[in-house]
Amino acid sequence: MKVLTLYKQMLRESQKFSSYNYRSYALRRIRDAFRENKTLTDATKIQSELEYAQNNLEIIKRQALLSQLFRVDKLVIEK
């Protein structure tokens, strides 16, 4: 449950990037990382990856907030 909650939080926060490129990159990296680690069985490795993801969530939150301060025009692909 903790993993699923963290995954959803990361996806939700990455949607807040004002830049399409950053937003799509963050979504792709989050999905790939969780997909890559879904077969982990070692408890210490799982805990390590969860801590890494939690740190990245905090980074995403800060960066999304900063990106909202400097809004840019939407790209053609977004309209």
The domain tally of the chain equals 1
| Maximum Cα–Cα distance across the chain | 45
- Long-range (24+ apart) CB contacts under 8 A made by 28-35 are 34/3, 34/7
Give the pLDDT confidence score for residue 4 in this predicted structure: 94
- Alpha-carbon distance 60 to 52, whole Å? 12
Range of the domain at 38: 2-78
pLDDT tens for the 79 residues of the chain, in order: 789 999 999 999 999 998 889 999 999 999 999 999 999 999 999 999 999 999 999 999 999 999 888 877 888 887 7
